[in-house]
Structure 1
């Protein structure tokens, strides 16, 4: 029997990020998130600055994680208020109180959630995990004040299909498949984000992609190593990978011969007229 599908064509019976996979209570989860933040925060904050992040703004940080971007908005950009939203805010709250920071523990897809309106909305590596992603884009765009701006960031990939037999490539492909089947993660929609924003009536819509270097033992290699280790049961499920392939892929992330292109990030933005 075909499982029920939501309006975005995805199985509504799937698990969720932070529950079925990557539980926030795991002792290494905050470290795993911060390994990615070290790489992507400079790109994100550069774009936020270019979009006018600064004094006088009320901002929404969706999927705030450990709070690196939320705190940058307050400390470096000098915005007046940041509403940091996540379904689990334990890691964010452990960072201590911050003037202007309002932490909200809630589900973005909860239709009763009322956060008010904002001058700047940012969501990174969130929508790709949500079956309701198209509706969420509409909802986030609807939270913008006149002249307000939105920045969406999610994963994109340029796989080397000429060498698909390598352990790294096979493991990365198996990971995306396992994520899709377990929690509904889907990055095939990400290149459509600029179109989604245009459909919401936003002006000055544009996008860029960033593919960071994957260096042996570096923060991004640690992120993927930690991700694959946490997902070993799903990666080694029947019909996917054998343990030796996963071991080889993990070893490649530490090898001085590592020469792979890691998944990158697409940023799309627009302004409410």
Structure 2
């Protein structure tokens, strides 16, 4: 007996194409919510002058800019499969690399800080990639991983919001291999890699009508509408109801959050 075929798609290719006119705005809506949390953690870990940093999945470059302008890093390598959102980055302290983290020939050197947010959850090879990133650390360097974790309302199994959110995770899993179930294990992964000072935290931002986060989910669901309907969990009317709920003052949900885990090379 065989199971379902493994997903063969890629983020940015089969879903969320970077050339879509709303993609940069969608990414930046999430950045407005999560960047302060991310940069606060990086600051607390001592990311500062003289550091060589790697930003995995650099997106539109918001964290890269913070590392350059606020943390005063000596060099930042911005890695992404599509780097069109980084065209305005320049200067001797930034290196933009258009490549896939899974490319075995990729050789970027070693780093004092490596940060990856909302990247590994979309890659079926995530555990192997944690090992690879850990190997790229300099002694004393930090690896910081951040991915989505959802704390669903167990009393709600049938609302339009719940059915649409569940359909989204199912569609992401079947299309590009997204899997958030292992994210809470990231601290264990870092410990298994021999890192010290390992810890983790979960941040669930408020989901408020009209907020950047509500706009992010609305744009995400609109863009995924055909894939959501294909799951059979929600129809077009249900998606419309979920979108209206996101824009309503009746909105009352604990939306998906960001779990970060970090560890330091001995």
Question: CA, structure 1 residues 240+96, in 2 after alignment: closer, same or farther (shift >3 Å)?
Answer: same
Give the SS at the match of 1:151: strand
> 1:4 deviation in Å?
8.8
Residue 64 of structure 1 corresponds to: 58
CA distance in 1, matches of 2:66, 2:26: 19
Q: TM-score, normalised by structure 1?
A: 0.95
1:73 to 58, 67, 71: 67
Mapped pair 1:44 → 2:35: no
Tell me, yes or no, if the aligned pair for 2:170 and 2:231 is still in contact at 8 Å. no
Mapped pair 1:272 → 2:246: no
> 1:14 deviation in Å?
1.7
Tell me, yes or no, if the aligned pair for 2:149 and 2:259 is still in contact at 8 Å. yes
Cα root mean square deviation, aligned:
1.3
Q: Which runs of 5+ in 2 are unaligned?
A: none
Residue 172 of structure 1 corresponds to: 165
Give the SS at the match of 2:190: helix
> 1:193 deviation in Å?
0.2
Residue 28 of structure 1 corresponds to: 22
CA distance in 1, matches of 2:212, 2:99: 29
Tell me, yes or no, if the aligned pair for 2:203 and 2:257 is still in contact at 8 Å. yes
Question: CA, structure 1 residues 79+257, in 2 after alignment: closer, same or farther (shift >3 Å)?
Answer: same
Runs of 4+ aligned structure 1 residues displaced above 3 Å come to 1-5
Q: Which runs of 5+ in 1 are unaligned?
A: 6-10
Give the SS at the match of 1:161: coil
Q: TM-score, normalised by structure 2?
A: 0.97
> 1:165 deviation in Å?
1.3
1:184 to 172, 177, 180: 177
**Equivalent residues, number:** 266
CA deviations 1:26-76 (Å, max 9, x no partner) are 111000000000000000000000111100100000000000001100000
Question: CA, structure 1 residues 211+80, in 2 after alignment: closer, same or farther (shift >3 Å)?
Answer: same
> 1:240 deviation in Å?
2.6
CA distance in 1, matches of 2:204, 2:231: 32
Give the SS at the match of 2:161: helix
Residue 121 of structure 1 corresponds to: 114
Residue 249 of structure 1 corresponds to: 242
